[in-house]
């Protein structure tokens, strides 16, 4: 019985705790609903005030007094003594075309325009690109003045039927006794409105495709014979050119040897060093004839700038005549070569003939002393 009472008391206590927790949760829910309703009312009031054009901001900035509105700048009217006119050299342009936009200003001598700032780099005529700027002021017969400003513009705009040339601003000042330049006077502005120029396009309106439809025909395989033959002929010509070029370069390199004059001096010194003191010995005479024969051919080769070592006496004389050598030199060379060949190849052998050897030595000295310019 006591256990039953204890259990009932515990249940009663638990139900009280649950009831207390529910009341607290209810109060918190009501509080959250109230905060949400207050926020909605505040936001709705602000939106309503904005629609009505009212300022509902309550921050520190809104509490300050609003700054007074800035005064609208007073536009100085253009004096009646200044008149402007504009002209275009073309009424319509295509993309990339250049055109001239000319501005004429008529004014009296008491005014002066500032022209130093009118340059290609300082003038902005967007969307047109400024290519050149020229200006000129002239004096008319009635003592008035006229200003010409020529702007060369380029169009790169597309997708429009026409474009407005931007307004152009000129600066002027009134001259008097105290002011004679723009630095001493307050400059005023003269705004010249721009005309309208047409924009043309080479594309038709709403083209279906930029390119026309082209039917590609199949290439007949038999037609490949001609291109292949052409390529083969080109390859043969190319190989031939390379071969001829190689031969030409080889010949040029072979021609490049020692200096001709120095080589002739070396041959002369070599021959003089091999001349014996006497010609009483047959073997000495044979060595002298062989020595003179080889040195003479080598010397003449350097003299004519051609290969002469493999030529006979007659062939060498023909070569000298062909290259317009001196007739006297040609005769002397032929004489010495014939003498050397006859004495070298005699059947009975070379005999000691001092007189013939001295004649050959004398002719050799005269030949080796010949110099070509």
Q: Give the end-to-end CA distance of the chain in Å, rounded to a whole number.
A: 157
What mean pLDDT is reported for the chain? 75
List, in order, residues 6 or more apart from 44 with CB less than 8 Å away.
Answer: none
Confidence (pLDDT) at 17: 44
3-state secondary structure of 65: coil
pLDDT, greater one: 309 or 151? 151
Confidence (pLDDT) at 372: 62
* 78 domain residue, yes or no: no
Instruction: Report the number of distinct structural domains present in the chain.
Output: 3
Confidence (pLDDT) at 55: 46
What tens digit of pLDDT does each residue of 58-113 get? 444 444 545 555 554 445 677 888 889 999 998 899 888 999 999 999 999 888 88
- Does one domain contain both 359 and 283? yes
What tens digit of pLDDT does each residue of 207-235 get? 666 666 666 666 666 677 877 888 888 89
Can you count the helices (H) and strands (E) in the chain?
A: 8, 10
- Does one domain contain both 237 and 181? no
- Does one domain contain both 105 and 173? yes
Structure tokens at 5: 């009472």
Confidence (pLDDT) at 98: 92
Q: What percentage of the chain has pLDDT greater than the value 90?
A: 13
Across 143-169, average pLDDT: 89
- Does one domain contain both 112 and 174? yes
* 9 domain residue, yes or no: no
* 296 domain residue, yes or no: yes
**Residue where a domain stops, chosen among 199, 219, 241:** 199
Alpha helices of the chain — where are they, by DSSP H? 2-51, 60-63, 225-255, 260-273, 282-304, 313-322, 327-344, 354-368
Q: What percentage of the chain has pLDDT greater than the value 70?
A: 68
CATH of the domain at 361: 1.20.120
* Rounded Cα distance, 171 and 122, in Å: 14
Confidence (pLDDT) at 242: 92
Q: Which of 298, 273, 276 shows the shortest CA–CA distance to 286?
A: 276
- Does one domain contain both 247 and 340? no
* 298 domain residue, yes or no: yes
* 2 domain residue, yes or no: no
- The answer to whether 144 touches 107, Cβ cutoff 8 Å, is yes
**Residue where a domain stops, chosen among 209, 240, 255:** 255
- Does one domain contain both 188 and 98? yes
pLDDT band at 4 (very low <50, low <70, confident <90, very high): very low
Structure tokens at 280: 């009483």
What are the phi and psi torsion angles at 138 (to 5°)? -125, 160
pLDDT band at 287 (very low <50, low <70, confident <90, very high): confident
R_g of the chain, CA atoms, integer Å: 57
What tens digit of pLDDT does each residue of 245-269 get? 988 887 766 655 567 778 888 888 8
* 204 domain residue, yes or no: no
- Does one domain contain both 294 and 234? no
Confidence (pLDDT) at 131: 92
pLDDT band at 41 (very low <50, low <70, confident <90, very high): very low
pLDDT band at 317 (very low <50, low <70, confident <90, very high): confident
- Does one domain contain both 282 and 242? no
- Does one domain contain both 238 and 312? no
* 320 domain residue, yes or no: yes
Structure tokens at 373: 């310019």
- Does one domain contain both 247 and 268? no
Confidence (pLDDT) at 99: 92
pLDDT at residue 172 tops 50: yes
* Rounded Cα distance, 195 and 89, in Å: 12
* 308 domain residue, yes or no: yes
Across 38-67, average pLDDT: 48
- Does one domain contain both 143 and 99? yes
**Residue where a domain stops, chosen among 237, 255, 273:** 255
Structure tokens at 294: 């080889």
- The answer to whether 83 touches 106, Cβ cutoff 8 Å, is yes
Measured CA angle at 312 (ends 309, 314), to 5 deg: 135
What are the phi and psi torsion angles at 180 (to 5°)? -120, -5
Instruction: Show the domain range for 319.
Output: 260-368
- Does one domain contain both 246 and 274? no
- The answer to whether 192 touches 209, Cβ cutoff 8 Å, is no
pLDDT band at 57 (very low <50, low <70, confident <90, very high): very low
Confidence (pLDDT) at 101: 92
């Amino acid at each position: 019985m006591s256990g039953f009472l204890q259990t009932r008391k515990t249940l009663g206590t638990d139900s009280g705790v649950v009831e207390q927790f529910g009341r607290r949760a209810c109060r918190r829910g009501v509080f959250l609903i109230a905060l949400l309703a207050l926020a909605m009312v505040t936001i709705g009031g602000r939106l309503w005030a904005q629609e009505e054009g009212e300022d509902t901001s309550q921050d520190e900035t809104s509490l300050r007094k609003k700054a007074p509105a800035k005064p609208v700048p007073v536009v100085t009217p253009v004096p009646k003594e200044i008149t402007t006119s504009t002209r275009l050299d073309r009424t319509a342009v295509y993309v990339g075309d250049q055109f001239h936009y000319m501005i004429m200003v008529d004014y009296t001598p008491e005014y002066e325009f500032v022209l130093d700032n009118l340059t290609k780099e300082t003038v902005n005529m967007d969307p047109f690109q400024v290519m050149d700027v020229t200006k000129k002021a002239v004096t008319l017969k009635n003592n008035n003045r006229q200003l010409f400003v020529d702007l060369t513009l380029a169009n790169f705009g597309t997708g429009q039927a026409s474009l407005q040339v931007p307004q152009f601003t000129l600066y002027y000042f009134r001259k008097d006794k105290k002011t004679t330049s723009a630095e001493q006077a307050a400059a005023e502005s003269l705004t010249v409105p721009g005309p309208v120029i047409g924009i043309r396009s080479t594309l038709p309106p709403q083209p279906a495709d930029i390119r026309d439809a082209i039917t590609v025909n199949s290439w007949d395989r038999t037609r490949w014979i001609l291109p292949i033959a052409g390529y083969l002929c080109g390859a043969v010509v190319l190989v031939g050119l390379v071969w001829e070029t190689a031969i030409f370069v080889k010949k040029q390199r072979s021609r490049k040897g020692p200096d001709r004059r120095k080589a002739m001096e070396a041959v002369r010194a070599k021959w003089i060093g091999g001349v014996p003191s006497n010609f009483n010995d047959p073997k000495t005479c044979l060595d002298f004839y062989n020595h003179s024969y080889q040195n003479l051919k080598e010397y003449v080769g350097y003299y004519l700038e051609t290969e002469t070592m493999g030529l006979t006496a007659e062939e060498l004389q023909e070569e000298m005549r062909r290259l317009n050598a001196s007739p006297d030199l040609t005769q002397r060379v032929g004489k010495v070569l014939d003498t050397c060949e006859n004495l070298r190849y005699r059947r009975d052998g070379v005999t000691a003939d001092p007189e013939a050897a001295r004649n050959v030595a004398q002719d050799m000295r005269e030949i080796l002393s010949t110099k070509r310019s």
